[in-house]
Structure 1
Amino acid sequence: MPGIQVFTHINRLVQGRGAVAQLAEEVARFQARKVLVVTDPGLVATGIPARVVEALGGYSTHVYSDVEPDPSIQTVERCTAFVRQQGFDLVIGLGGGSAIDTAKCAAALASNEGAVESYLGIEKIPAAGLPKIIIPTTAGTGSEVTNVAVLSLKDQHTKKGIVSRQLFADVAILDPELTLGLPAAITAATGMDALTHAIEAYVSRFHQPLTDHFALEAIRLIGAHLRTAVHHGENLDAREAMLTASLYAGLAFGSAATGMVHGLAMPLGGQFEVPHGVANAMLLPYVMRFNLVAALERYRDIAVALGEPVAGLSVRDGAERSLSAVRQLAHDVGIPTLREMNIPPSAIDALARDGLSNSRQVLPNPRKVTYEGLVGILEEAFAAPASR
């Protein structure tokens, strides 16, 4: 493979059943005194944040739960201001991608002046922020091991990302027991989000041997375990496999980047408030179809990882199996179509134009991205039959 490759990762990962019990020991490594736990109201209702506070023992701890799905820049500004005003010296992000991204940003920006919006883009945060420990309770975003946070720009009806080394967690704690109560619909959406990360990383122009390894292993685990995690949510083996798959997918796309599934999903979420994982899942087969001719052998590899028999098939026919496998998986876990989400076809032009502006996804995409190509992807997605 030509060129220089760079693989980035966090410093410390604590993983396993009951791993949250080690939280106080991890906090002690930073000599912290005052700890903020950033989460969301839905998770507070489950009692999981209370368990985390209990695991912290005698530390001065506050739970901050003013985080909405797909957090806005204003949400991050409020959380950052709270961190500064109250003098916290360590931030814990607990929950799904929304709480985690808010926590990552608040910890990083607590030591950096200026508007949050000024940090949108790549490597614009100059100074290291507060230490941060990330504890995911969903298996999908992989945000615990990436240097990315995605925020909603409500006034512009879109989403944009902050990418910075200052967003890397100092510690990630992955405890599958914390995912046991996750509802089936959220399990499905987050699992398909992880699958999207892995597939896009594997076919990315920026892929490399390490990202290939993690991406294919994530795809294999998701193909084998997502259905069970959705329909038998009490199955801890499936939950643990999905949390590991999300981790591997995060390690893959953290260095290889994502492509135009994400490039179109961000405006879809921003304009119509479609949950990120659902938006990815609805678009994934159609972006795969668009990209297929640019990466036939890689899509055949994806089919194999999803358990499809490709022996004796041509490379093209084997690659096609990856599309049918993804469509079947999405159907089996209950992912809706664009029409079922009441997205109007009249939005195609605006979605395509916004998607084309997302250079962070355009550049890694394996096939050259054009406005006409994005319109074609969206037209196919809108023509999809009902999922049920």
Structure 2
Amino acid sequence: MSASIVLPQVIRVGAGASAELAGTLDALGLSRPLLVTDPFVARQPFFLRLLADLEGAGLTPGVFADTVPDPTTTVVDAGVRALEEGRFDSLVGVGGGSPIDTAKAVALLGAHGGRMRDYRSPVVTDAPALPVVAVPTTAGSGSECTRYSIITDAETGEKMLCAGLAMLPRAALVDFELTLGMPARLTADTGVDALTHAIEAYVSARANPVSDGFAREAMRTIFAHLRTVYADPDDRAAREAVMVGATQAGMAFSNSSVALVHGMSRPIGAHFGVAHGLSNAMLLPAVTEFSVPSAPDRYADCARAMGLAAPDSTTGEATGALVWELRLLNQELEVPTPREYGIGPEPWWELAPLMAEQALASGSPGNNPRVPGAEEIVELYHAVYG
């Protein structure tokens, strides 16, 4: 069976790439971009420079700065109103995964109408949306080069996976300088998110030779440098490495898929407000240990790519090292358990069956090497609670 490989039309990577926004929009024939971001980014000097550069180049930009972590349908609808009122011809997502996912969703509804729930998985929307240019300011989500957007339904609380070529940005400007000075907690959470993307893309049932290459390189790069950027936020070489690795991990899972960690992670965020990268980190060691028996060779490859096992190590040695090192990484990055995060045992136990159902409904667990039933997912939620 063949694999369909898709990437943004333009990807610019390196220091200062974000300064090429005006030229990128012009080359795409776009002149009225709506910049979608959050209140914090909207106040930063680099963002004000982007606006000034666009205006200096003769473009007519607008700003929608009301995005929130874990974007909701309420925010997306407000963005669509801003898009229509300003008659903009494109979207520029500036920020972490939430503003970029919001920009994608606004572009989708701006082109096709309806509500976001009309486009939730298993629906796949390949018809083109309005053009999106992504300018990530965190090294984690990979949303700048994926055909996915995660939007929370404000009425039901469900985190909806929306997929298809309509969600793929037209261009991505990957500038590691925008991540300098990121707080340690955000650095850790987004970094483990990216590492999870790479591992799950590699072990997914939908993996292919192209996604494998992106995933292996992303694992190698992120694992080698994540501890460094956590300890020293201003290490430019490590920041660049992790930023590039996160983008490669996005390329990997966009052309393969994510699996059980992500399926279980989204309900934790929806019900308890845990940041997506952090909930992934809480789950990754236990879910990996659960899944290893069904794809030991693939997980052993992950360990070797990350430098955790010698090329001539046995499969058992490599997979054992992988699970051990993922637990150690969580300790060193001070990843809390759900209990340590402050989630009480009663709501956790009470909601575990519902979260398991929601995880399965997302479709992601079906890509896992070991496809679990609802009871097994509940057991995993109990195991990671702490």
Q: Which TM bucket (shorter chain)?
A: over 0.9
1:286-301 equivalence runs, <5 A: 286-301=286-301
Preserved CA contact (<8 Å) 1:38 1:91: yes
Structure 2 residue matching 1:340: 3-state secondary structure:
helix
d(CA) in 2 for partners of 1:220 and 1:300? 13
Preserved CA contact (<8 Å) 1:20 1:55: no
**Alignment-derived partner of residue 201 in structure 1:** 201
Count of matched residue positions in the alignment of Structure 1 and Structure 2: 380
Q: Kindly tell me: are residues 237 and 203 of structure 1, through their superposed partners in 2, closer, same or farther at Cα, counting changes over 3 Å?
A: same
For 1:48, the aligned partner's letter is F
For 2:193, the aligned partner's letter is D
Structure 2 segments unaligned to the other structure (5+ residues): none
Identical aligned residues as a percent: 36
Structure 1 segments unaligned to the other structure (5+ residues): 384-388
d(CA) in 2 for partners of 1:33 and 1:81? 19
Preserved CA contact (<8 Å) 1:19 1:174: yes
Structure 1 residue matching 2:265: 3-state secondary structure:
helix
Give the CA RMSD over aligned residues.
1.6
**Alignment-derived partner of residue 370 in structure 1:** 373
Q: Residue deviations 1:32-85, cap 9 Å, x none?
A: 232211000121233332122123223212221100100001111110121012
Q: Kindly tell me: are residues 125 and 318 of structure 1, through their superposed partners in 2, closer, same or farther at Cα, counting changes over 3 Å?
A: closer
d(CA) in 2 for partners of 1:380 and 1:310? 30
Q: Residue deviations 1:212-238, cap 9 Å, x none?
A: 111111111111111111111111111
Q: Is 1:22 aligned to 2:20, yes or no?
A: yes
**Alignment-derived partner of residue 146 in structure 1:** 146
Shift of 1:380: 1.5
Preserved CA contact (<8 Å) 1:122 1:164: no
For 1:49, the aligned partner's letter is F
**Alignment-derived partner of residue 135 in structure 1:** 135
Preserved CA contact (<8 Å) 1:39 1:49: no
Q: Kindly tell me: are residues 309 and 164 of structure 1, through their superposed partners in 2, closer, same or farther at Cα, counting changes over 3 Å?
A: closer
For 1:240, the aligned partner's letter is E
d(CA) in 1 for partners of 2:30 and 2:307? 47
d(CA) in 2 for partners of 1:16 and 1:102? 24
**Alignment-derived partner of residue 386 in structure 1:** none
For 2:357, the aligned partner's letter is R
Q: Kindly tell me: are residues 124 and 251 of structure 1, through their superposed partners in 2, closer, same or farther at Cα, counting changes over 3 Å?
A: closer
Q: Is 1:94 aligned to 2:94, yes or no?
A: yes
Preserved CA contact (<8 Å) 1:261 1:284: yes
Q: Is 1:348 aligned to 2:327, yes or no?
A: no
**Alignment-derived partner of residue 31 in structure 2:** 33
Preserved CA contact (<8 Å) 2:74 2:154: no
Shift of 1:241: 0.5
Shift of 1:310: 4.0
Shift of 1:336: 1.2
TM-score normalized by the length of structure 2 = 0.94
1:44-63 equivalence runs, <5 A: 44-56=42-54, 57=56, 58-63=58-63
Q: Residue deviations 1:292-334, cap 9 Å, x none?
A: 1011111111112222134664312321111111111222122
For 1:162, the aligned partner's letter is C
